[in-house]
A and B are shown apart, each in its own frame.
Chain A
């Protein structure tokens, strides 16, 4: 089938391409023409008018928790991918803290099989250690061969410096990153950020230094081993400063931040709303300011959601007993556009780098291009659409979003990938 995207704006920063009101023709999932339409072009084709919309290389979320295998009541591979597509992503990478953990090629292929034929490209992050227990490194070579794109014990940091050293050394052979959940175990276990608010609310605190220590450990170990180290969901001022310094020294360090860590502070916990509970916890205003500065100056490479579905029953309990984590896939684009693009923290080009190009680079994946002969892998943005988040419209199996009813400006209105297109809620085979 031939589809013509008419009057569309194109924006691809790494191709240095920015065009307005052009046309793009896709045939059998590949780009066959960009530019003016001839009479021949319009024959036997479906035309979709995208006036005012921006076509960008498909967004990629490198930090997503699908609950399969183990907690399919909260999310499956399919509902997670549906949620990603609805949120404007054409690719995601899922974290290995499932039950069982993703530490063998069997589990990897089981998960990948579920996503067969889906519009969204699903990539798998393997466990850094066997069973995520932090004792022995996982079969990284075998995992690499089965298509794993990074390693992490996410949910916790790799238990000891010795195991981290081995993981960085071993994964270096395949140029895959160690993605670290930075939290010192002996300081962990609280319910919110340590600060004035934790005192006022009487909630057990997690000090920011718990994150900083493990970020520091990772930076030092990465320097020593020359391994590739990626800081997951960075959230503190100090950690951002350390990553900035490490980058200046040209170390092999990258970092991501979640939308909630650049949008909310721990003031949001004051209602004891369990949808404000996640790990790392919401931090203070100084931390948020530094995270935003880090996004602006390039210290933070990408935005990732840490999409963490939890059932209603699990979250509808006392704050201290509620599990950590919130949904992210279906609010991320809107929050990034609202909080970063419209507030002039990032240009649209910078935002595309952080949501499409950089995450793929970190995971050694090819970046989609606007070129004849390339696969059509795009996100369609309406950067000015004002909309209200409604969890009832989510494709995720869970509803645990702190952003329900929030007014946002800018939305992903469609995605195109793998011979499929979703636009205005309609799915087309193209």
Chain B
């Protein structure tokens, strides 16, 4: 059975069967990545453009690697957030790239909704690699895969997303994906960083990190974006680390084998202590490896459907 959509714009509304298919396909590609020769000819002759209107290192490299492993022709395009400032409109930029006959577009953009806009002005398959503070579906899927790999299931698990929920595209994709797969989702962070309407999404809100550690099977700890406007939403890094940072002491005190995840890059000593970031409970680098496999699975499923 193919996916129900020819684009991956977000995880909102993506049916359980699609997520299941992506995760199962990921497992196949995950095995490919363990082989001595990690390349398969699946997308030979397909052209994929990585359209990055916002700085990104790991997501771009992860996609690029996934494309190369599938033998697709990958092109990288980086531009400042607003192409309008260079004189050319976003739409013209896209039209130009499309005219070069590309099959798929992987897009990262600072403005929410841009991937949907792309589907209206361009015929290629669109994959959202992060749009503003909206969604980051491939990150959500790799998180789901990593949890399933570690704990064997998603249904019935308790997962808490910790940190700046309001300015995170990872949070929303995780919430949608996890809830669809039957997990119980909560968020934990300073109240200035949690949107007012979380309960309407069926997500519990807590503000005590010790409670979050005690109550959950998995903590997905988000990066505090020190360089962004988000910095204004809490009084100081010291205060954040003291009340929301996860340390070995905290894990020990609450005596639980909670799985620690992080989408990276980590602010060591802020959201995670170095001991936790390198500790036995974290699966942070596994997430990175799985990221390549998940992206291979998505590119394969979308690239072979039309």
Tell me the A residues contacting B by CB distance below 8 Å. Answer: 194-196, 198-204, 271-272, 313, 316-321
Q: Which residues of B contact A203 (CB under 8 A)?
A: 112-113, 132-134
Docked-complex contact A196 and B197, CB < 8 angstroms = yes
Residue B89 interfacial (CB < 8 Å): yes
CB-based A-B contact count at 8 angstroms: 66
Distance between Cα atoms of A318 and B12 in the complex (Å): 20
6 A-B pairs with the lowest CB-CB distances in the bound complex, closest first: A202-B134, A272-B113, A318-B111, A202-B112, A196-B197, A199-B195
Tell me the B residues contacting A by CB distance below 8 Å. Answer: 12, 82, 84, 89-91, 109-114, 116-117, 131-135, 166, 169, 172, 195-198, 200-201
List 30 interface pairs A-B (beta carbons < 8 Å), by A numbering. Answer: A195-B196, A199-B195, A199-B196, A199-B197, A199-B201, A200-B12, A201-B112, A202-B132, A202-B133, A202-B169, A202-B172, A203-B112, A203-B134, A204-B133, A271-B116, A272-B112, A272-B113, A272-B116, A316-B89, A317-B84, A317-B89, A317-B90, A318-B111, A318-B114, A318-B117, A319-B112, A319-B113, A320-B132, A321-B82, A321-B84
Give, as a whole number of angstroms, the nearest-CB distance from A192 to chain B. 10
Distance between Cα atoms of A46 and B114 in the complex (Å): 57
Q: Which residues of A contact B134 (CB under 8 A)?
A: 201-203
Looking across the interface, which residue of chain B has its beta carbon closest to that of A271? B116
Looking across the interface, which residue of chain A has its beta carbon closest to that of B12? A200
In the complex, given contacts A204-B133, A272-B112, what are 9 additional A-B residue pairs having Cβ atoms less than 8 angstroms apart? A196-B201, A202-B134, A202-B135, A203-B112, A272-B113, A318-B113, A319-B112, A319-B113, A320-B111
Distance between Cα atoms of A201 and B114 in the complex (Å): 11
Distance between Cα atoms of A201 and B12 in the complex (Å): 10
Give, as a whole number of angstroms, the nearest-CB distance from A6 to chain B. 50
Known A203-B132, A319-B112; contact A194-B90, beta-carbon cutoff 8 A: no
Q: Which residues of A contact B116 (CB under 8 A)?
A: 271-272
Interface residue from B110, B111, B112, B200 paired with A196 (Cβ < 8 Å) = B200
Known A199-B195, A202-B131, A202-B135; contact A320-B112, beta-carbon cutoff 8 A: yes
Give, as a whole number of angstroms, the nearest-CB distance from A265 to chain B. 15
Q: Which residues of B contact A271 (CB under 8 A)?
A: 116
Distance between Cα atoms of A33 and B150 in the complex (Å): 89
Give, as a whole number of angstroms, the nearest-CB distance from B11 to chain A. 12
Looking across the interface, which residue of chain B has its beta carbon closest to that of A318? B111
Give, as a whole number of angstroms, the nearest-CB distance from B124 to chain A. 18
Give, as a whole number of angstroms, the nearest-CB distance from A304 to chain B. 29
Q: Which residues of B contact A198 (CB under 8 A)?
A: 195
Distance between Cα atoms of A202 and B201 in the complex (Å): 14
Q: Which residues of B contact A201 (CB under 8 A)?
A: 112-113, 134
Give, as a whole number of angstroms, the nearest-CB distance from A305 to chain B. 26
Give, as a whole number of angstroms, the nearest-CB distance from B191 to chain A. 14
Q: Which residues of B contact A318 (CB under 8 A)?
A: 82, 90, 109, 111, 113-114, 117
Q: Which residues of A contact B200 (CB under 8 A)?
A: 196
Distance between Cα atoms of A313 and B247 in the complex (Å): 51
Looking across the interface, which residue of chain B has its beta carbon closest to that of A319? B113
Looking across the interface, which residue of chain A has its beta carbon closest to that of B169? A202
Q: Which residues of B contact A321 (CB under 8 A)?
A: 82, 84, 111
Looking across the interface, which residue of chain B has its beta carbon closest to that of A192? B112
Q: Which residues of A contact B84 (CB under 8 A)?
A: 317, 321
Q: Which residues of A contact B89 (CB under 8 A)?
A: 313, 316-317
Q: Which residues of A contact B110 (CB under 8 A)?
A: 320
Distance between Cα atoms of A127 and B201 in the complex (Å): 44
Distance between Cα atoms of A321 and B109 in the complex (Å): 12
Looking across the interface, which residue of chain B has its beta carbon closest to that of A194? B196
Looking across the interface, which residue of chain A has its beta carbon closest to that of B168? A202
Q: Which residues of A contact B172 (CB under 8 A)?
A: 199-200, 202
Looking across the interface, which residue of chain B has its beta carbon closest to that of A191? B112
Q: Which residues of B contact A196 (CB under 8 A)?
A: 197, 200-201
Distance between Cα atoms of A200 and B166 in the complex (Å): 11
Distance between Cα atoms of A271 and B119 in the complex (Å): 12
Looking across the interface, which residue of chain A has its beta carbon closest to that of B194? A199
Looking across the interface, which residue of chain A has its beta carbon closest to that of B197? A196
Give, as a whole number of angstroms, the nearest-CB distance from B54 to chain A. 12
Q: Which residues of A contact B113 (CB under 8 A)?
A: 201-203, 272, 318-320
Docked-complex contact A316 and B91, CB < 8 angstroms = yes
Known A200-B12, A202-B134; contact A319-B111, beta-carbon cutoff 8 A: yes
Looking across the interface, which residue of chain B has its beta carbon closest to that of A313? B89
Give, as a whole number of angstroms, the nearest-CB distance from A271 to chain B. 7
Q: Which residues of B contact A317 (CB under 8 A)?
A: 84, 89-91
Looking across the interface, which residue of chain A has its beta carbon closest to that of B200? A196
Distance between Cα atoms of A321 and B197 in the complex (Å): 25
Q: Which residues of A contact B91 (CB under 8 A)?
A: 316-317
Give, as a whole number of angstroms, the nearest-CB distance from A319 to chain B. 5
Q: Which residues of A contact B82 (CB under 8 A)?
A: 318, 321
Q: Which residues of A contact B195 (CB under 8 A)?
A: 198-199
Among B89, B113, B133, B166, the one with the most A-chain Cβ atoms within 10 Å of its Cβ is B113
Q: Which residues of B contact A199 (CB under 8 A)?
A: 166, 172, 195-198, 201
Distance between Cα atoms of A194 and B201 in the complex (Å): 15
Q: Which residues of B contact A195 (CB under 8 A)?
A: 196-197
Distance between Cα atoms of A200 and B171 in the complex (Å): 11
Q: Which residues of B contact A202 (CB under 8 A)?
A: 112-113, 131-135, 169, 172
Q: Which residues of A contact B114 (CB under 8 A)?
A: 318
Distance between Cα atoms of A85 and B166 in the complex (Å): 46
Distance between Cα atoms of A224 and B84 in the complex (Å): 47
Q: Which residues of B contact A320 (CB under 8 A)?
A: 110-113, 132
Distance between Cα atoms of A196 and B201 in the complex (Å): 8
Q: Which residues of B contact A319 (CB under 8 A)?
A: 111-113, 117
Q: Which residues of A contact B132 (CB under 8 A)?
A: 202-203, 320
Distance between Cα atoms of A317 and B84 in the complex (Å): 9
Looking across the interface, which residue of chain B has its beta carbon closest to that of A199? B195
Q: Which residues of B contact A194 (CB under 8 A)?
A: 196
Q: Which residues of A contact B201 (CB under 8 A)?
A: 196, 199-200
Q: Which residues of A contact B196 (CB under 8 A)?
A: 194-195, 199
Distance between Cα atoms of A318 and B131 in the complex (Å): 11
Distance between Cα atoms of A194 and B117 in the complex (Å): 22
